[in-house]
Structure 1
Amino acid sequence: MPIPPHNRRASGAAAAALGAAGLIVLAAAPAAFGDGTAPELVVGGIEPIHGLKPGGTFDLPVTVANKGGTAEKVWVSYSVTRGLDFMDVPSNCRVQHIRSYDEMPENWTATCAFDQAVEPGVVYTPERPLRVKALDRAYHDRLRVEAGDGGAPMDDENGEPSVAGTAPAVKLVGKQAGDEGSANRVDVSITSVNTADYQVTGAALRGRVGDTVTMKVKFANSGPAWLLEDEVDQDVQIVITPPAGTSVVKRDYYCHAEGGKYRCPPHLGPYMAEDAQMAYTFKLKIDKRIAGGAKGAIALTPQLRPFDHNKANDKADITLDVTGGGSNGSTGGSTSGSNGSTDGSTSGSKGSTDGSTDGSAGGSSSTGDDGRTSNGGNLAETGSSALPIMGAAAAAVVTGAGTLLIARRHRARNLS
């Protein structure tokens, strides 16, 4: 029988179509014909712990179960905030210190890799639980445990390089069903019996009438406990009352005026360390002498703080000693230009001290001030631009007159 002519173009198209169809079938084959289920790991056995004492330890009896297909290898990660620390970390685990970022507190993670299969329907647990210690700064901490299949995740880019543990490696072992959990990540609270002491520090100011002086006052948490943002009462504020006879030339950037006083936040982050402190810096102009001496104050608002048992240091004085001159002022220490100059510079000032750290008289930068000038509701804070504008105008007049004179001389030469 004669063989019909062979159409190569048609055959090529048919082969390509069959090849594409074959690829589609092969791609779909694992889902259609394999076990078809991805691993689904869940953790359990983790409960909140309360009433620890600093220095105490506890174990983490975590369980790992698989509600999906077989996982060839898995990892378990533990994360604790800065009041806790890991002890006797196995060599198949890596510990990383992660700095605070994106409103997340500083924490430590220990990620343990297990190069072994985890079958569905079986509950596993590390053959030796990870041990955690409560540090002297512990108060209210968080613990997170999560699990995943495959290789261990990469280090967090916001942290330091991870390091391997030094204790003998551990593996996962099967246990009786129970505590298998229902999610791949669990967060719990770990609390310790501890205290933290909020305190404020005042200042002793000294200067002549007309001087601009620096007032620096402070707020601090003297520990021993650190505080998560959850524990910090957001209504607690620092209230600063400048001494009578002064006007505020420049307020601290973070403080705002309220009826002759200034309210400032106690902290500016997701947590308050056990040694955290903030300085609030103001520039004050001494307007007059007050008979008997002038006094202001820095104080905490009276919200309940169950961790703070010491109330004696919740308020401090700000004193002002006016030297020389009379109640109507003296010429030697007056502020150059206008009362509202925000740079705090002075002419002929004999200097002043704030009783805390820098004790400088106007014109110097100071801790706690970001260099920006902001209004806090006091007219003196608005500053004065009259002298710079008058100077610029005078310069413009001189320049214009010089230009006109040159033009006239040039015209005279051309006419001659």
Structure 2
Amino acid sequence: MPTLSPARRTFRSCVAALGAAGFAALAMAPAAFGEENTPDLVVGGPAPVSGLKPGDGVDVSATVANKGTVAAEKVWVAYSVTRGLDFAQVPSNCQVQRVRPYDEMPERWTAVCAFDQAVEPGAVYTTDRPLRVTALDRALNDELRLRVESADPGADDNGSDPVPGTASPVKLVAAQGGGVGSARIVDVPVTTVNTADYRVTGAALRGSVGDTVTMKVKFTNAGPAWVWPREGDEAVRVVVTPPAGTSVVRRGTFCRAEDGAYVCGMRSLYEGSGETYTFVLRIDKRVRGAKGSIALSTEARPFDPDKADDQADITLDVAGGGSDGSGGSSGSAGGSEGAVGGSDGSAGGSSGSAGGSTGASGDASGDASDGGSSSTVTGGTANSGTTTGGNLAETGSSALPAASVAAAAVATGAGVLLVQHRRRAQRPG
């Protein structure tokens, strides 16, 4: 998302303070604020780029045109690249920032270049030399964004301190036509030939009938590429099926019950990042050969050719007494989830669904941000599973309703005693 300039932030604050009446007055007199007499700048850039390999570069030339009736006394052009790309050299009239992910945008680097040159109405200019962008080892699906402004956009509030470039300054020169552009912001997809290895890790559990055991299973993007799902891409999900003979007391974070299993999402698809799902299971009975699984969902992932690590077993070794069945359903469909973990979030509350694009919240710079976790969840449903109480609907148990009635009775009795005590205190003498 483009960052508002300080002047625009101030203007918005003033409009909010004026209220409805003030806003109506402003709407009737736009000329007083220069709305009719401002430059109308548009930017053009390269066509979508594909077929790059890590280490390859692409030269990016920006074209600026003024479709308005007033000259732009000065122009700012911002080049922004997602985290699989980098700038080879940055001119000295450009300021570079690393920007943390926010508003559905992943981590990225932005170079804002200031041109102390007027752009007249109807004129078309281009940069006197291109800005070279290179594909890093982690590149896969990335994006280049070009933006033009007639006022200083300022530094991004979510970014690091701006650092000036060291190469010779870049200038605007009269263009020979073509590539004029039609918008203030242009997004250019940049695709690199690369792979990312999604893998899952199972667990080996041991215990006796009646025991409560902790199960930790894991998803990892082993890289080398990071993955930024584009619009229309199906979100990858992790499906966890606990072993037969167990019931789920507390589900893993970002997991929801679905069709006799648990479907889980993750916070990050950065290279080297992962998600550990911690379940608490109760061993209800001994089932010979009981085995669960963790597996990736089956949507197409052409960047991930290694399917050997897309599924892993969850084994259970039950020692001691208890019943020994030859089968039985998984604890995920008919267990007593909620006896400890409860429903997602606070007691009685439902979980918030999660989805969308992925980014990182790790506050490292450059390549050091690898493996950072993002602020959004891909697939699945967020679930803290830390509250007690919850519901026992999955087991058909009436223990919780009975307990609720008892608690209500105690509360009612306490209320009656309190009212009687107050009445005695209010009696004269």
**TM over 0.5: same fold?**
yes
Q: Per-residue CA shift, 1:178-209, capped at 9, x if unaligned? A: 32222222111110001111111100111111
The 3-state SS of whatever aligns with 2:147 is strand
Q: Per-residue CA shift, 1:361-411, capped at 9, x if unaligned? A: xxxxxxx8452466696328998587898799899999x99xxxxxxxxxx
In the other structure, the counterpart of 1:280 is 277
How far is the alpha carbon of 1:297 from its aligned partner? 0.7
Distance 2:290 2:183 in 1: 63
Q: Are the counterparts in 2 of residues 257 and 263 from structure 1 also a CA contact under 8 Å?
A: yes
Residues 191 and 376 of structure 1, relative CA distance in 2, 3 Å threshold = farther
Distance 1:381 1:276 in 2: 40
How far is the alpha carbon of 1:63 from its aligned partner? 1.3
Q: Are the counterparts in 2 of residues 86 and 130 from structure 1 also a CA contact under 8 Å?
A: yes
Distance 2:81 2:31 in 1: 42
Q: Are the counterparts in 2 of residues 84 and 133 from structure 1 also a CA contact under 8 Å?
A: yes
The 3-state SS of whatever aligns with 2:91 is coil
Distance 1:259 1:99 in 2: 37
Equivalent residues in 2 for 1:19-168 (5 A)? 37-68=37-68, 69-149=70-150, 151-168=151-168
In the other structure, the counterpart of 1:302 is 298
In the other structure, the counterpart of 1:196 is 196
The 3-state SS of whatever aligns with 2:117 is coil
Q: Are the counterparts in 2 of residues 73 and 118 from structure 1 also a CA contact under 8 Å?
A: yes
In the other structure, the counterpart of 1:177 is 177
For residue 110 of structure 1, what is the amino acid of its counterpart?
A
- Which ranges in structure 1 are unaligned for 5 or more consecutive residues? 1-26, 330-338, 345-367, 402-416
In the other structure, the counterpart of 2:395 is 379
For residue 83 of structure 2, what is the amino acid of its counterpart?
R
- Number of aligned pairs? 337
Distance 2:407 2:196 in 1: 55
Q: Tell me how large the CA RMSD over aligned residues is.
A: 3.6
Residues 176 and 235 of structure 1, relative CA distance in 2, 3 Å threshold = closer
Runs of 4+ in 1 over 6 A off after TM superposition: 27-31, 380-383, 385-398
Point out the more displaced range, 163-172 or 212-221.
163-172
Q: Are the counterparts in 2 of residues 249 and 381 from structure 1 also a CA contact under 8 Å?
A: no
How far is the alpha carbon of 1:116 from its aligned partner? 1.8
The 3-state SS of whatever aligns with 1:108 is strand
Residues 391 and 303 of structure 1, relative CA distance in 2, 3 Å threshold = closer
How far is the alpha carbon of 1:327 from its aligned partner? 3.2
Q: Are the counterparts in 2 of residues 251 and 381 from structure 1 also a CA contact under 8 Å?
A: no
For residue 312 of structure 1, what is the amino acid of its counterpart?
A
Distance 2:256 2:170 in 1: 56
Distance 1:37 1:392 in 2: 69
| Bigger-Rg structure (1/2) | 1
Distance 2:337 2:225 in 1: 43
Q: Are the counterparts in 2 of residues 202 and 317 from structure 1 also a CA contact under 8 Å?
A: yes
Q: Are the counterparts in 1 of residues 339 and 391 from structure 2 also a CA contact under 8 Å?
A: no
Distance 1:84 1:257 in 2: 38
The 3-state SS of whatever aligns with 1:58 is strand
Residues 204 and 386 of structure 1, relative CA distance in 2, 3 Å threshold = farther
TM-score, length of structure 1 as denominator length? 0.71
TM-score, length of structure 2 as denominator length? 0.69
Point out the more displaced range, 168-177 or 56-65.
168-177
Distance 1:264 1:71 in 2: 51
The 3-state SS of whatever aligns with 2:216 is strand
Residues 294 and 62 of structure 1, relative CA distance in 2, 3 Å threshold = same
Distance 2:292 2:396 in 1: 18
In the other structure, the counterpart of 1:262 is 262
Residues 395 and 41 of structure 1, relative CA distance in 2, 3 Å threshold = closer
The answer to whether 1:342 aligns with 2:339 is: yes
In the other structure, the counterpart of 2:252 is 252
For residue 371 of structure 1, what is the amino acid of its counterpart?
T
In the other structure, the counterpart of 1:323 is 319
How far is the alpha carbon of 1:212 from its aligned partner? 0.3
Could you tell me which of 307, 312, 322 is aligned with 2:308?
A: 312
Point out the more displaced range, 138-147 or 223-232.
223-232
The 3-state SS of whatever aligns with 1:379 is coil
Q: Per-residue CA shift, 1:22-53, capped at 9, x if unaligned? A: xxxxx98999xxxx853222222421111000
How far is the alpha carbon of 1:55 from its aligned partner? 1.1
How far is the alpha carbon of 1:94 from its aligned partner? 0.6
- Which ranges in structure 2 are unaligned for 5 or more consecutive residues? 1-29, 326-335, 342-382, 418-429
The answer to whether 1:208 aligns with 2:208 is: yes
